[in-house]
A and B are shown apart, each in its own frame.
Chain A
Amino acid sequence: MSENATKQATRTSETANVLADEPKGRTGASRVLLGRDAIMIYILLAFLVYASIALPRFASPVTVGFLLLDVIPVLLIAMPMTLVIITGEIDLSVASIAGLTSALMGVLWQAGLDMGTVLVISVLAGVVAGALNGFLVAVVGLPSLAVTIGTLALFRGLALVVIGDNAVANFPPALTGFFISKLGATGIPTVMIGVLVVMVFFGVLLHFTPFGRGLYALGYSKEAARFVGIHVNRSKFWLFVATGTVSALAGVYWTLRYSSARSDNASGLELTVIAAVLLGGVSVFGGKGSIPGVIAGVLLIGSINYALRLSRVSDVVLIIVTGSLLILSVITPSVISAIRRWNHDRRLRRHVPQAPASGSTSAVHQAH
């Protein structure tokens, strides 16, 4: 079996496993085919088919290229963010870390260091920034929402301190060219290989390792997770280090893709990432979600935006779409479960008219 095929096989079985693990009360194929992730993927595919038919210029390598180049930062950061939100935490400082990395790259490159050193130091800065978040959340025990609002301001502030209102743009053309180069005629950007590695890494980590499975337990109940022997604080710490590191990678990508290092790079990206992750089916309460679902969510937002832009819908309407999708995606399950509960109650009342409306279910079962 060729290497590519193996990778393909791993990813399919990964999807299957995730869906199979969801306690939905369905069994066998219907579990896989009717799960939350599967529906997300159907919507994505349906939209892609529709767009290819309705928009003459949509189905082309150019689309693939620009669409992917645009979503890569969100796609990258969404991976560790999925894990963080599954544990019931959140990281709002990701875009600031990307901005700080970008500013550092600019200043270090300007100072005449060679590109290798610049990259290593910049990514290390992301690791340190993530470790600071992790320390405050996991070791000191502060709420991550508050901590990362603080570090959002702090890291963006440090980016300003580092580079001020300058911009550095004279990165080596060979390198910036590489970042927008495509794989042959497919239109897929070369850097997607790296992004794919990150995606597979976090997918395998979340779905196939004891560490990853433990994160779900952690998201459901911290106490229970501690009792079954999960290192709650250590897990959280490393997750924040991971978001810091990947955000730094996204910052590096942003800098070289646009060939510009500025303090305000990627600002506001944190809300886009979180919107995409939640749209992908991750519960903001923790304990629910999967990597394939999130990838579908990110790509759905990306392709809808791209399609609207192709049909000359102004950028301003795009954010209405993002917001509505987000709200719809969280409200629909609530509405469905409310309808289901109402149906269930009605059926119960019809079958056992003598049972009081608030009667316990066990009594109802005995009556049968």
Chain B
Amino acid sequence: MTTTVHPTGTDSPRPSSGRRSPLSAIAHLRELPVLLALVALILVTWLINPLFLAPQGVKDILLNATIVIILAAGQAIVIITRNVDLSVGSILGLVAFGTGSLFVAVPGIPIIVVILAGMLFGAVLGAINGLLVTLAKVPALVITLGTLYIFRGLNNAWAGGTQFFADDRPQEFGNLSVDTVLGFPLITLIAIVVVVIVAVFMSGTRSGRDLYAIGSDPDAARVFGVPVTRRVLFAFVTNGVLAGLAGVLYTSRFNSVGATTGTGLELDVVAAAVVGGVAIFGGSGSVIGAALGALLLTTITGALTAVRVDKFWQQAIVGLLILAAIVIDRIAAVRTARRLRVSESRDV
């Protein structure tokens, strides 16, 4: 009954009407609510405390958001196929610890090799999830809940009490999250490039569009000739690659990585995707939206500190935001359904 909404926000082509005007297309963007909320939040905070938008303040917000943005983009791909990956926090932890070990084991290893190795490691972990989900035909929620524990346990067994600190890594690697270009930290630029690539893939390629079809109705997609198993596996592997990248960048951003790195991140990431307009039952939403959702959720923390709201309120407000996002999504869906009914009855 739900309609497939293109990530650009226009409705599926309807026989009764032509293309909508650009203005109304913007007004129906799924990402609009989260974008408005983000702009309003930044404006209000800036009016109360102008220091909020000082270069250092902006840099802090972007640095804090980078990791979650990458994870949320990957999670969006998986959720769009009507699956979910709860193990991303554990994947990030394993890759982050792996990155630390790599720098110690191979002194002078080029940074690009480390990044690629981290992404490859993530891909392997993502493939484990994907294979279990597609071959055993068991819901992703259960499988990835299991691998959440297993990956975390492996991380614990591997790391034990060991921690790697910033001194164990070359200076240039740490500088990735210190140096800025036009006010943007380098790791944030990496994240933006990644999100743009994935967004173009999702909206512009056949296999990207297939993922939406699978999420809207897996059986119909199969009948239509979409290679569902291969595409879903691909979504999990891509998510693993992105979680791996996030793991490497986490190591650059934060001082220490150890056995518990990334614990509890999974629900934040799913929350960011949901706030960004990705429907939890698949078929709708976009990677850009998920990235904006992640940015919104991390900006709130900074904003509350800037306007001197008790820091204890922060999590409760995040919860309210998630609920608001779902309610807005629901209202939009009801309105679309009603409009479709009206246009269908006119056609008769």
What per-residue 1/0 map shows which CB atoms of B137-156 lie under 8 Å from chain A? 11101110111111011101
Q: Which of B84, B136, B146, B319 contacts A324 (CB 8 A)?
A: B146
CB within 8 Å of B: which of A236-260? none
Stretch with Cβ within 8 A of B (4 or more), from A43-51, A65-73, A150-158, A206-214: A150-158
Interface contact B138-A331, CB-CB below 8 Å: yes
Q: In the complex, what's the smallest C-beta–C-beta distance from B34 to chain A, in angstroms?
A: 14
Q: B26 within 8 Å of A by Cβ?
A: no
Q: Which of A24-32, A137-145, A183-191 contacts B (4 or more CB under 8 A)?
A: A137-145
| B274 and A149 contacting across the interface, CB-CB below 8 Å | yes
Docked pose: A319 CA to B323 CA in angstroms: 31
**Measured between alpha carbons, how far is A146 from B278 in the docked complex, in Å?**
11
- Chain A residues, Cβ within 8 Å of B326: 136, 142-143, 146-147, 150
A140 to B331, CA, bound (A): 10
- The contact of A275 among B138, B149, B310, by CB within 8 Å, is B149
Identify which of residues 314-366 in chain A touch chain B, using a CB-to-CB cut-off of 8 Å. 314, 316-324, 326-327, 330-331, 334-335
Bound-complex Cα distance A90 to B280 (A): 13
Q: Which residues of A contact B84 (CB under 8 A)?
A: 145
Are B146 and A327 touching (Cβ within 8 A)? yes
In the complex the two chains form, is A330's CB within 8 Å of B142's CB?
yes
- Say whether A204 faces chain B, with CB atoms less than 8 Å apart: no
User: Given the interface contacts A158-B316, A160-B316, does A317 sit within 8 Å of B153 by beta carbon?
Assistant: yes
Answer yes or no: A201 CB below 8 A from chain B CBs.
no
- Of all chain B residues, the one with the shortest Cβ separation from A155 is B319
9-residue interface stretch from B92-100, B236-244, B263-271: B263-271
Other-chain residue from A152, A157, A160, A316 in contact with B157 (beta carbon distance below 8 A):
A316
Q: Tell me, yes or no, whether A40 is within 8 Å of chain B by CB.
A: no
Do B327 and A161 have beta carbons less than 8 Å apart? no
Is B317's CB within 8 Å of the partner chain A?
yes
Contact B136 A330 (CB under 8 A): yes
Nearest Cβ in chain B — how far from A36, in angstroms?
15
Question: For the complex, is A307 an interface residue (Cβ under 8 Å from B)?
Answer: no
Contact A284/B146 with A150-B319, A154-B319 known, Cβ cut-off 8 Å: no
B271 touching A150, Cβ below 8 Å: yes
Contact B153 A146 (CB under 8 A): no
A316 touching B259 in the complex, CB below 8 Å, given contacts A147-B326, A268-B264? yes
Residue of A nearest to B297 (CB): A153
Which has the most chain B C-beta neighbours within 10 Å: A152, A267, A274, A330? A330
Cα of A146 to Cα of B160 in the assembled complex, Å: 34
Q: With a CB–CB cut-off of 8 A, which chain A residues contact B147?
A: 323, 327
Decide if A153 touches B153 in the complex (CB within 8 Å): no
A320 touches B153 (CB 8 A): yes
Give min CB distance, A53 to chain B, whole Å. 26
- The DSSP consensus for interface residues of chain B is helix
Given known A152-B267, A154-B319, A157-B313, contact A142–B145 (CB-CB < 8 A): no
Contact between B156 and A316, CB atoms less than 8 A apart? yes
Say if the beta carbon of A193 comes within 8 Å of chain B: no
Report chain A residues within 8 Å CB of B146. Answer: 275, 323-324, 326-327, 330
- Whether, in the assembled complex, B166 has its beta carbon less than 8 Å from a beta carbon of chain A, the answer is no
CB distance from B20 to the nearest CB of A (A): 27
**Nearest CB to that of A278 among chain B residues?**
B142
Annotate A200-225 by CB proximity to B: 1 below 8 A, 0 otherwise. Answer: 00000000000000000000000000
Residues of chain A with a CB closer than 8 A to B145's CB: 271, 274-275, 278, 323, 326
Tell whether, in the assembled complex, residue A149 and residue B322 are in contact, meaning their CB atoms are under 8 Å apart. Answer: yes
Q: Could you tell me the distance in whole angstroms from the C-beta of A141 to the nearest C-beta in chain B?
A: 7
Q: Annotate B19-63 by CB proximity to A: 1 below 8 A, 0 otherwise.
A: 000000000000000000000000000000000000000000000
Q: By the criterion CB–CB under 8 Å, are A317 and B315 in contact?
A: no
Residues of B within 8 A of A285 (CB): 139
Among B152, B271, B280, B318, point to the contact of A157 (Cβ < 8 A): B318
Partner of B270 from A149, A155, A274, A331 at Cβ < 8 Å:
A149
Asked if A164 is an interface residue, CB under 8 A from chain B, the answer is yes
B312 CB-CB contact with A under 8 Å:
yes
Q: Which residues of A contact B152 (CB under 8 A)?
A: 319, 323
Within 8 A of A (CB), among B318-343: 318-320, 322-323, 326-327, 330
Interchain Cβ contacts under 8 Å between A and B, 6 examples:
A142-B326, A146-B326, A157-B312, A323-B150, A331-B136, A334-B136
Known: A149-B267, A331-B138. 7 other contacts (CB 8 A): A145-B84, A150-B274, A152-B267, A154-B315, A154-B316, A165-B312, A316-B156
B interface residue numbers (CB < 8 A to A): 84, 86, 132, 136-139, 141-143, 145-150, 152-154, 156-157, 160, 259, 264, 267, 270-271, 274, 280-281, 310, 312-320, 322-323, 326-327, 330
